[in-house]
Structure 1
C-alpha cells in the first residue's frame, strides 16, 4: 500500500516545531525584557504585554516555517550556512528596528549576543524538526 504523503503545511513535525519555536521565542523575550536587557517601545497590546506579541506569535513562526521548509532541501553544510545567514539577517534586523525606534537594547547588550542567540535558537529548532521527522521503524 502506498505511503500517505503530507503536504508541507500539514506535516506534524513542521507544525509542532513551529509551535514549540513560538513558545520558546515568547519565553525568551519575556525573560530578557523582564531582566531589562531590551524593550519594545512600540508594540501591539502594550497595556497587556511587555513583549511584541506580533513578532513572537506571527513573525517568528513565519520565518521559522520558511527556514525549515528550505532546510529540508539542504545538506549538512548548507544547513549550517543557512543558520548562520539567517541569524546574521535577524541580528541586522534588530539593529534596523532600533533605528526605527521599535526595539531598544540596554547599553550593556552587544549585538554579538543576538547573533549567538539566534544561531543557537535556529540550530535547536532544526534539531527538533529533524528529530520529530525521523521515521519510526
Structure 2
C-alpha cells in the first residue's frame, strides 16, 4: 500500500512536469527564443524530448521528495539555489552545443521561470497528496 500511495502522488506530478516542460519548450522554440541543435529524433521533434520526458520528471520527483523533508527556510534556500544553478547549467549546455538561445533571451528568464515552475509543481503535488 505504501508503494501504491507514493506512485499515486509522485507519478501525476512527474507527468505534469513533463507536460508543462514540453509545452514551454515548444512555445519558446516556436518563438525562436532558443533551440536544441542536438536532440533525439531531430526530424520529428523540435525540442529535446529526452530532457522533457525523462530528466525533468525524474529531477522533479527527487526535488519534491527532498523538499517534503526539510523546513520552510531550507526549501526557500534550495529554490533560490536551483534558480541560480539553472542559469549556470544553461550556459554550460550552450558550450556543449546542446542548447542555443537568441540575442533576446536572458538566462535570468530561466532562473525566474524555474522558481515559478517548481512552486506550481509543489502546489500540484500538495493537491495530489491531499486527495
TM-score under structure 1 normalisation?
0.89
C-alpha displacement at 1:10, in angstroms? Answer: 3.5
- Unpaired runs of 5+ in structure 2? none
State the partner residue of 1:27: 23
State the superposition RMSD in angstroms. 1.6
State the partner residue of 2:67: 71
- Unpaired runs of 5+ in structure 1? none
1:130 corresponds to which of 121, 126, 130: 126
Give the stretch that moved more between structures: 125-134 or 25-34: 125-134
Equivalent residues, number: 131
State the partner residue of 1:12: 8
Q: Distance in 2 between matches of 1:29 and 1:132?
A: 25
The structure whose Rg is larger is 1
**Structure 1 runs, 4 residues or longer, greater than 4 Å off:** none
Q: Does 1:84 align with 2:87?
A: no
TM-score under structure 2 normalisation?
0.93
Q: Distance in 2 between matches of 1:92 and 1:37?
A: 18
**Structure with the bigger percentage of helix:** 2
Q: Secondary structure at the match of 1:97?
A: helix
Change (3 A) 1:7 1:82: farther
C-alpha displacement at 1:13, in angstroms? Answer: 1.6
Q: Distance in 1 between matches of 2:84 and 2:127?
A: 25
Relative contact order (C-alpha < 8 Å, sep 6+): which is higher?
2
C-alpha displacement at 1:87, in angstroms? Answer: 2.1
